Amino acid sequence: RTFWTKPNQHIQGGHRPAFIKFQDASNHLTKYGFHVVSKNPYVQVEQPILRPDYVKKLRKTTSDKSLQRRAENNLRMMAGWSRCYQEMTSSGGSYDVCLRIRDDHGLTHPLQIDKILPSVKSRTVMSTDCQKHSGMNDRFAIMSTDAAYDYFVGPISTYYLGHLGSEVRNTETLIRHVYEKANLTIINSPMIRGLVKMQVNSNGSTVVYEDRDTVRCMVMNGE
């Protein structure tokens, strides 16, 4: 999941937006000069220990039928973020910025990195202004390196050890609560678009999941 590039390096030619196996993605990135730190996929905890008051907060936005599964998935995601930070800091690499995207998501629009980077100043985390669900989008972020610890480790630490504010009712509101407490500058940017769930089906084609909100968020300003 973790990689870095040399300065001003760009991938040329065609690309696949999704892969079936972790090794396929690793090989593809290596082919284009990326240094892949994680040689094997992170294995998620099967039965994470849930925090009862967080599960209670989820009831405000989740049906009882899917409550347990959603609560466990939320926790697995936050635990995975912490592992990303461990991989990053143990790699020995030097990072200008950090970017995270959920491993089942991709971008249908090019990331306007030259326009985005000037806004990513010290102690800043940026995501899309779409699908915030009253907090901050938890599927993608780009941040300054001095914000990485709070971004990746803060949510799981707060989940188990910290106070959850009254505004917390899902992961989006939880991470915003954490980042505000850490005094990070939070930017919900309209320049980040086309963030969608992707999957490779049995015949090798890439499937993009679309709903009304996703379609709206795939459109750039001015298009």
Euclidean distance between CA atoms 30 and 104, whole angstroms: 20
Euclidean distance between CA atoms 166 and 174, whole angstroms: 10
C-alpha radius of gyration, the chain, whole number: 18
Average pLDDT, the chain: 83
3 state SS of 213: helix
What confidence tier does 215 reach under pLDDT thresholds 50, 70, 90? low
Residue 124, pLDDT above cutoff 80: yes
Euclidean distance between CA atoms 164 and 155, whole angstroms: 10
pLDDT value at position 204?
62
Question: Which of 10-24, 34-48, 79-93, 195-209 is least confident?
Answer: 10-24
pLDDT value at position 47?
86
